[in-house]
Structures are given as C-alpha cells and as structure tokens.
Amino acid sequence: MRPVAADEIESLAIGAWILGTGGGGSPYLALLNMRQLYRKGVVCRLMDAAELADDDLVAVVSNMGAPLVGQERLTDPKTMALAVTMMEEYLGRKFHAVMSLEIGGGNSIQPFMAAAMLDLPVVDGDCMGRAFPEAQMTSFAIHDLRMYPLTLADVRDNAVVVARAASWKWMERISRKACVEVGSIASTCKAPRTGKEIKECAILGSTTKAIGIGRAVQAARRAHRDPIDAVLEVAAGVKIFSGKIQDIARRTTEGFLRGTATIEGLDDFRGHTFSLAFQNEFAVGWLDGLPRVMTPDLICVLDTVSGDAIGTETLRYGQRVTVIALPAPPILLTPKGIEHVGPRAFGYDLDFRSVFA
C-alpha cells in the first residue's frame, strides 16, 4: 500500500481518458473533486490486490449515466460514498477497499472520491481495462461471478438496491431504468467482491498503467517530444492511422451513441481512408474498406498535436487525429472474453483478429 500524490491523480486523468477508447466520460470533473479534496489534506492510498486477504470485501464503484448530464449535474464524492455505505448497510458488512469498475474515463477517479470520504484504500485495478458501455462487458461477467446486489444513489437522497437480477443483461436493464428515472446520472456500487475474486478475476495494475500513460504524455509535452510516440512506447501500442476527420455520422439507438467517423489520411497515410465505427467507445476501424482494428483491442483517437484523447461525443469535422491501438487485457482475448466484448457483441459480423497477434 502506498500514498498517491496529487500529481499522480493528474496523470491518471490523462491516461484514463486515453484508455477510455472514446467513451467513459471525461475525467475532468472527478479530477476537480480530487484537487479540492487534496487541498483539504486528503491523501488516498493505492494497494496491490495481493495485499487483500481472500475474504476481504471490495466495493466496485462507478458513476452511471449520460456524460452530457454529468456536465450539468457535475459529480460529487458524497453521493459516490453514499452508494458504498448503502451497500455496507444492506450487507451488514464493512468494505476493506474500493476499486474502479472501468479504468477508461471518469470512472477511473470515482473510487478515489469514495475512498477519500470513507478513508479506504483503492485497489490498483478494474474489471474492464478500458471503457465499455454495458455491465456484462467486464472481466467479472466473463468469469461468471454473481452480478448482484447493486446500489444506486442520486444526489437528492434517492437510492435503489437491486437485490437480485437473473443475468448481467437484466442487471443492466434494471439499473439503467432506475438511473434514467433519477435524471440519467447516479453513483453506483456494483456487486461486492471478495479479495479472492479480485485477485483471480479483476484486471490488475490498470490504475498504475493509466498513471504511467498520463505521466509519459506530460513528460513528452514538457520536453517538446511527440506525446503520441510516448503513449505508444509506454503502453506497447501501435500507430494505426493519422489524418483529418472528413465526416461524422451519429445516431442513438437503444441508448447507445452509434456512428462512424471517416478520416482522410495525412503524411504517411496520404491517399488512404480510415473509417471508424463507435458505440459510445470506438469499436471497429477499417483501412480502405478492410477491417484493420477491432474491439477488444483498445482503439484510441488522439489529437495529433497535443496527444489529448478525443471522445466519441467530441469528434468534429476537421480535427487532426491519430488512431492508435493498445493491447487488451488477456482475459478479454479468451474465447469467452471475445463472446462478451468482441466485434459480434457490438453487432459486427467479424472474426476477432488482434492487431497484436
């Protein structure tokens, strides 16, 4: 267990936004909350899963809802902590630590907000290794762990316990419905996990990985080096394409922001066209009409100059972007993993082929 410095949270925000693969929501508001808390003297602790006893209890937390609503309703540590303490009351047991549901985007920092309020350590890890839109797209679901109970709290003191759900999909449907009812933004504490489950089924070390990516970007900017090269180097990634956004088509269906971005190649990719399909996150990319990269490999779109991640909601005509791929956690690449988060889980009739294979 070690203390987390304020500047590591800054790095985490940058790295997690990149690991968000276009979704997960911007970490900015959660970062602002952490700055406020650190200013008041809070110091969070990060622990290795190995330090957990097998029967320790870990709260897996996330902010749920529409990122756009979050931009108005903001996010606060009290509500996040409330979802966790509600779960403790429901279980009649105390948690030993909190962990992030998804390291991609704002949910990377939510456990730190809860941890700060409850004086608990944060486990270095998550259960996606990136961002995904739905509850069944986690390493816990792939491992067939129990998906209930779940607690959900809003800022007005409305709270819901989903005591049971027949499947991950049902859990997603019921909790999503409750979330919409309270204004499409809520703090949630997912099914509690034992230390043993975390050690065996979580994606470990992803918090440290995100901090490392963020730190590499910051260092490159300070040294006037290419921040994208720095990301590729630190995260063992591959540059897929570089160009200018030519067209964006978006639509929402079944609560997803779906769409396609067309990128016209520049520099080394001049004369080529890349098209990138997204469902909240980037899902599949085609180079000149042929599949080039697909989920669960991480597809990240970065501002070519600054190296900042660009979300699916903020893609705009004319942006100069670089598409990179980062390796997915091994669990997502197993046959069961591909079933949950491979291209067919998003409706693309493609056999998964990793860029890193």
Partner 1 sequence: MRRRIGIDVGGTNTDAVLLEEDAVAATVKTPTTADVTTGITRALAALLEQAPGAREAHAVMIGTTHFTNAVVQRRDLGRVAAVRIGLPSGASLPPFVDWPEDLADLVRAEVVMLEGGHEFDGRPLVPFDTRGMRAAARRIRDAGIRSVAIAAVFSPLNASGEEEAAAILQEECPDVAVTLSHRLGRIGLLERENAALLNACLIELARTTTRAFTQALRASGIAAPLYLTQNDGTVMLAEVAEAYPVYSFASGPTNSMRGAAFLSKRDEALVIDVGGTTTDIGSLRHGFPREANNVVEIGGVRTLFRMPDLLSLGLGGGTIVSRAGVRSAPALTIGPASVGYRLTELGLVFGGDVLTVTDVAVAAGLIDLGDRARVASLPAALVKEALARIRAMIEEGVDRMKTDAGETPLIAVGGGSFLVPPRLAGVSEVLNVPHQAVANAVGAAIAQVSGEVDQIFQDLSRDEAIARARRAAEDKAVAAGADRATINVVEVEDLPLAYLPGNSLRTRVRVVGEIARQP
Residue with tokens 């709270």: 159
What residues between 230 and 259 interact with partner 1 by CB under 8 A? Answer: 244, 250-252, 255-257
Residue closer to partner 1, measured from CB, 100 or 312: 312
Which of 253/290 has CB closer to partner 1? 253
Nearer to partner 1, 166 or 249 (CB): 249
Structure tokens at 272: 């080529």
Write out the two tokens for 151.
Answer: 């607690």
Does 280 engage in binding with partner 1 (CB under 8 A)? yes
33 contacts partner 1 (rule: CB under 8 A)? yes
- Choosing from 42, 145, 266, 350, the residue that interacts with partner 1 (CB under 8 A) is 266
Q: Between 147 and 309, whose beta carbon lies closer to partner 1?
A: 309
Nearest to 28 by CA among 75, 62, 69: 75
Residue 273 engages partner 1 in binding (rule: CB under 8 A): no
Pick 255 or 330: Cβ nearer partner 1? 255
305 binds partner 1 (CB under 8 A): yes
Q: How many CA atoms lie within 13 A of 4 on its CB side?
A: 30
Q: What is the DSSP letter of 327?
A: P
Which one among 29, 123, 284, 309 touches partner 1, defined by CB under 8 A?
29
Q: Is 356 in the site for partner 1 (CB under 8 A)?
A: no
Whether the CA torsion 302, 308, 314, 316 is positive or negative: it is: negative
Is residue 262 within 8 A of residue 273, CB to CB? The reply is: yes
HSE, CB side, 13 Å, CA atoms: give it for residue 106: 28
CA distances to 93, 262, 299 from 292, rounded to whole Å, are 48, 14, 11
Which range in 82-90, 95-103, 173-181, 327-335 contacts partner 1 by CB under 8 A? 173-181
Half-sphere exposure of 168 (CA within 13 A, CB side): 15
Question: Which one, 58 or 323, has the nearer CB to partner 1?
Answer: 323
Which of these ranges, 42-50, 175-183, 230-238, 337-345, lies near partner 1 under the rule CB under 8 A?
175-183
Residues 76-115 that bind partner 1 (CB under 8 A): 76-78
Query: Rounded to whole angstroms, how far apart are CA atoms 45 and 156?
Result: 29
Q: How far is the CB of 267 from partner 1 (least distance, A)?
A: 5
To the nearest whole angstrom, how small is the minimum distance from the Cβ of residue 304 to partner 1? Answer: 10
Amino acid at 289: G
Among 45, 48, 71, 88, binds partner 1 (CB under 8 A): 71
Q: Encoding tokens for residue 136?
A: 């069944």
Measured between alpha carbons, how far is 56 from 24 in angstroms, rounded to an integer?
Answer: 28
Compute the distance between CA of residue 32 and CA of residue 117 in angstroms, rounded to an integer: 15
CB of 346 to partner 1, least distance (A): 14
CA distances from 197 to 166, 174, 201, 238 (A): 20, 24, 6, 32
Q: Which of 240, 286, 239, 243 is nearest to 266 (CA)?
A: 243
By CB under 8 A, residue 155 contacts partner 1: yes
Q: Please, which of residues 311-340 interact with partner 1 by CB under 8 A?
A: 313-314, 316, 318-320
For position 341 contacting partner 1 by CB under 8 A, the verdict is no
Instruction: Using CB under 8 A, list all residues that contact partner 1.
Output: 29, 32-33, 36, 65-69, 71-74, 76-78, 155-157, 176, 179-180, 183-184, 244, 250-252, 255-257, 266-267, 270, 280, 303, 305-306, 308, 310, 313-314, 316, 318-320
